[in-house]
């Protein structure tokens, strides 16, 4: 089961993802930015993270991306930006799997599935390489 961590103050976004993602395939966890986020990342070590960059949160989102990378370097990060900003570019460069600038983010379930497929494919290729040696 893939763990998806949603970092957002918007409970509707969390509820939407929980409804849209099959419970048998995904465990959708939610956290607020800040201290709760740090605890959640350490505890959950998510496979996929959805970071909701709400308005003036670019600096906070940058820290979140860095902490996620430290906790799990192979995690797929999806950045949602309701109001696109030039500052988002440095977040994408920091290792974001997909950048979504849309409101509401209706494509998110599809993107989470694509991120999970990417993880599975990478794991399969690593296993295959190990078998070939």
**pLDDT value of residue 102:** 66
- What residues make up the domain containing 104? 2-132
Residues 55-111: tens digit of each pLDDT = 556 677 788 888 999 999 899 999 888 777 777 788 788 878 898 886 667 889 999
Residues 29-38: tens digit of each pLDDT = 999 988 889 9
**pLDDT value of residue 94:** 80
**pLDDT value of residue 91:** 77
Mean pLDDT for 99-127 is: 87
**Mapping DSSP to helix (H, G, I), strand (E, B) and coil, where does residue 76 land?**
strand
Tell me how many domains the chain contains. Answer: 1
Predicted confidence (pLDDT) at residue 23 exceeds the cutoff of 90: no
**pLDDT value of residue 6:** 95
Buried b (16+ CB within 10 A) or exposed e, 103-125: eebeebbebbbbbbebbeeeeee
- Residue 119: CATH number of its domain: 3.40.50.2300
Write the CB contacts of 118 (distance below 8 Å, at least 6 apart in sequence): 76, 97
Eight-state DSSP code of residue 34? S
**pLDDT value of residue 40:** 93
């Amino acid at each position: 089961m893939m763990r998806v961590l949603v970092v957002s103050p918007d409970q509707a976004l969390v509820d939407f993802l929980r409804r849209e993602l099959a419970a048998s395939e995904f465990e959708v966890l939610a956290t607020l930015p800040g201290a709760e986020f740090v605890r959640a990342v350490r505890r959950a070590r998510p496979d996929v993270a959805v970071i909701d960059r709400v308005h003036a949160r670019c600096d906070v989102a940058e820290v979140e991306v860095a902490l996620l990378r430290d906790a799990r370097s192979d995690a797929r990060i999806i950045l949602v930006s309701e109001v696109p900003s030039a500052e988002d570019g440095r977040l994408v460069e920091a290792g974001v799997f997909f950048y979504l600038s849309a409101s509401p983010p209706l494509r998110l379930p599809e993107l989470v599935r694509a991120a999970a497929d990417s993880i599975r494919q990478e794991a399969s290729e690593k296993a295959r390489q190990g078998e070939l040696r």
